[in-house]
Structure 1
Amino acid sequence: SGQGPDILNIGNTWSASLQSSGALLPWDAKNFEAIGGKDRFVESALGSTGVGGQDPAAVPLYSMAYALYYNKKMFKDAGIEKPPTTWDELVTTGKKLSKDGKSAIGVEGSNLSNNIHQVFVLGKQHGADFFTPDGKADFTSDGAVAAVKQYVDLMAADKIVAPGNAEYAQNQSLSDFARNKTAMVLWQTASATFKAQGMNDDDWGVAAAPVQSGTPGSGKSTNSMVAGINMAVFKNTKNIDGALKFVKFMTGDAEQRILNKAYGSIPPVKIAQLDPAFDTPALGVLRDTLRTSASALPQVPEESQFETVVGTAVKELFADAAAGRPVTTASVKAKLEKAQQQMPKK
């Protein structure tokens, strides 16, 4: 319309989708130089700024990662000394915690984006990316099917997620966690949310999100997507100099420390990350995850549709699990085939 603002915040997973509109300013070498240079930013954060091989459509503002948060009181009451590090351990631990009307781990079964974040990570652990190298949807590979089934099976087979979680979409799992109804949640940068829910910092602990075996690291031990917020500039702005100056200020070392301390997130600017404030037990796990074991969601123009159709497939599978209907490899594959058919044809 030409009537929008000069600058906008965007969830980093949508960078490539919005880039495909052609409305955003490309961050070429000249524009990066105007804000201090591209090499100031952490590589993982730059990985979620647009399609590979093209100039980024945005610059990182703050970074987040998923971690496993656990309720210390519930763990102590169950005689559990440390959080699980693998999915098998999570299920074993979870069965000790799922009793007396309480559940081991919460999910947001009707939150499409959260569903995508979780199954994407599990997909990486199963060797699947959901898209081929040339950008075509690939939702029905063995790895993708195994990833979705493993996630839904936390409710369907392992019985460590309460059936009511199938309807959660608005942070209800965090509320259950704060009220000692759920012992664990997989969430991104949750400390500020817990405080708002009335929890003290010593009520909860945080650990790296589980992997299939071993410890988090590169490749199959990916245990988080690269979460966060980017800043983009509309290409048709009549105030490009002012826009670049504002982005430079927001991504400057000093403001990065202020912003990310306030949000409980991690600065995507290298120098700002060195501040001791980001080396606390809560934030150190997130920082290390972003450095070593996080992967960017597929940087393809169809990423937004991917979140919608596959996120909906997972939502429907959780509904099946909650209703007691069987969730099988065949039923998972059928849902993913339906999702793939809804994607734009290339």
Structure 2
Amino acid sequence: MGLRRTRVVVALASAAALTAALAACGGDDAGDGGKTLNVLIGANTQYPQEFQAWQKAISDKFQAQTGTAVRFETFASANEELTKIQTSVVSGTGPDVYAVGTTLTPTAYSTGAFVKLGDDEWTKIGGKDKFVPATLGISGPDDTNQIGIPWVSRPFVMAYNTELLKAAGIAKPATTWDELARQAKQLTKGDQYGLAVAYKDNFDPWKFVWGMSMQAGNPLVEGKTARLQDPAVKKAYQTYFGWLTTDRVVDPAAAGWSNPQAIAAFAKGRTGYVALTSATGAKALDEGAVKGKWSFALLPTVPPGATARPANGVEAASILSGDNLLVADYSKNKDLAFQLVKLITDQDAQLDYYRKLGNLPANAAALKTLESDQRLLPVAEAAQKSVATPFTGAWADIQLALTNVVVQSIPDLSGGSLSDAQLDSRLAAAQKAAQSALDRAK
């Protein structure tokens, strides 16, 4: 192992113990004498049956084409996702193909454990121009150093109940965070709430803080310096927590909700907004009481406490979000891995995945077929106004540090209050963890 890889592994090891080995090793032999390609992918807790059906269909199709079975292994949180990458880097074995979130791609890149994509690799999967250009924005640090092959796009928006807003005299959805709070108060009465928020989700909370902070002109990472104790970050957390503890526009049960639970609550028809969702939420909403009574809208792009973005603020409507496919450099079956990547990024497979699970295609031709769906226009606008998180190997630890502030605050939120002293203490710990990660990162 080279010095650079060693440094990265040491840095990664601080986030979790590296004692567990992955159950699946790259390129296993199947029991019938054939090969098995191992794939690590995020679990889909919102549509688990459809997700299992998709996995089986892909495995069956790939086996028919190549004689190789596909075995899927899943992760359910960013922490678990990071640990899976860590164990594979250390052991030099594990999945052949990884489907990782865009924000984890920089950390994966920093390990040096994944195939860098040259002309030959792009040709094997159908060419770089097969993909929506914006989805390539976090495939690597620059155009010539890339490991991430875009699979699906997931720009974030909010959904609102058109009937409830109309009944409350609200002409259009909020465009600033303060306006969203005001509208949520108008919408909250009896057993009706203004907002559905997934405070206990494994992935959602930090996205609010990142967006509000960027809009206020604080990028969280500036060169080699973490900025998690900036006043803009504290204001973001106060706003996010305040919907529950101060404004009281969120169902108290939301302190224990994951994203699918927040969407399910909104789908019952007694909530004005679900504060963070994507095109994936449409299926659940159309199966609920809000069918025909909801629309997507951009998340607010003006920071809390302001009526307009400051001069140095960024119109960050969403993180550059989705999943990238990475091929492990240690894999003994790289050609098969790229064949699988080609299969699941081709137009038909992308549209099938969209129909089953709601993730927008990264395939340009597939996405073009969806242009006539008027409900997706705000999602498309969010994609255009998405901003990539910093491309640093430290970002995974920074993302977890931001999430941990919320995790540690859940008991206080469940009790209905959170003091400034508690928040300050947790932000100090997050700043220390983030700065340490940046100091270790090359």
Instruction: Please tell me the residue identity of whatever aligns with 2:367.
Output: Q
Q: Flag the structure with larger Rg.
A: 2
Counterpart contact for 2:197–2:259, Cα < 8 Å: no
CA RMSD of superposed structures (Å): 2.7
Counterpart amino acid of residue 284 in structure 1: L
Deviation, 1:65, is 1.2
Q: Would you say the 8 A contact 2:148–2:326 is kept in 1?
A: yes
- Residue 90 of structure 1: SS of its match in structure 2? helix
Secondary structure of the structure 1 residue equivalent to 2:98: strand
TM-score of the aligned structures, taking structure 2 as reference length: 0.69
Q: Give the AA of the match of 2:433.
A: Q
| Amino acid in the other structure paired with 1:290 | A
1:246 alignment partner AA: L
1:176 aligns with 2:265: yes
Q: Note the C-alpha offset of 1:62.
A: 0.8
Distance of aligned partners of 1:201 and 1:298 in 2 relative to their CA distance in 1, 3 Å threshold? farther
**Whole-Å separation in 2 of the counterparts to 1:32 and 1:53:** 12
- 1:305 paired to 2:397: yes
| Secondary structure at the counterpart of residue 165 of structure 2 | helix
- The answer for the alignment partner of 2:253 in structure 1 is 164
Aligned to 1:113, the other structure's residue is in SS state coil
1:118-137 equivalences under 5 Å are: 118-134=208-224, 136-137=225-226
Q: Can you give the 5+ residue segments of structure 2 that lack an aligned partner in the other structure?
A: 1-21, 27-37, 39-95
Q: Which residue of 1 aligns with 2:164?
A: 74
Letter of the structure 1 residue corresponding to residue 209 of structure 2? V
Residues 66-105 of structure 1 aligned to structure 2 (within 5 Å):
66-105=156-195
Indicate the percent of aligned positions where both proteins have the same amino acid.
24
Q: Of 349, 360, 363, which residue of structure 2 is paired with 1:255?
A: 349
Deviation at 1:95, TM superposition (A): 0.9
Q: 1:289 aligns with which of 367, 376, 382?
A: 382
The corresponding residue for 2:134 is: 44
Q: Show the 5 A alignment for 1:193-204.
A: 193-196=284-287, 198-199=288-289, 201-204=291-294
Change (3 A) 1:239 1:315: closer
What's the CA shift for 1:94?
0.9
1:50-102 deviation per Cα after TM superposition (whole angstroms, max 9, x unaligned): 44577222211110111110123332443434322222221221111111122
Is 2:88 aligned against 1:27?
no
Counterpart among 202, 209, 230 of residue 299 in structure 2: 209
SS at match of 2:325: strand
Evaluate the alpha carbon distance shift between residue 52 and residue 138 of structure 1 in structure 2; reply closer, same or farther with a 3 A threshold.
farther
1:223 paired with 2:335, answer no
Contact 2:155/2:318 (<8 A) preserved: yes
Quick one: which of 415, 420, 432 aligns to 1:323? Answer: 415
1:234 aligns with 2:328: yes
Return the TM-score normalized by structure 1. 0.87
**In 2, Cα distance between the equivalents of 1:191 and 1:52?**
34
SS at structure 1 position matched to 2:277: strand
- 2:362 alignment counterpart: 268
Gaps of 5+ in 1: none
Contact 1:9 1:232 in 2 (8 A): yes
Equivalent-residue separation in structure 2 for 1:82 and 1:25 (angstroms): 47
Alignment partner, residue 63 of structure 2: none
- Residues 314-344 of structure 1 show CA distances to partners (whole Å, capped at 9, x for unaligned) of 243454344243544x653432111122344
Aligned-partner Cα distance in 2 for 1:83–1:318: 28
With over 3 angstroms needed to count, the CA separation of the structure-2 counterparts of 1:31 and 1:57, relative to structure 1, is same
The reply on whether 1:314 has 2:406 as its aligned counterpart is: yes
Greater relative CO (CA pairs within 8 A, separation 6+): 1
Counterpart Cα distance in 1 of 2:313 and 2:153:
20
Q: Does 1:340 align with 2:431?
A: yes
In 2, Cα distance between the equivalents of 1:164 and 1:54?
A: 47
Aligned length: 339
Q: In 1, Cα distance between the equivalents of 2:181 and 2:247?
A: 7
Q: Is the 8 A contact 1:317 1:327 kept in 2?
A: no
Q: Is the 8 A contact 1:166 1:322 kept in 2?
A: yes
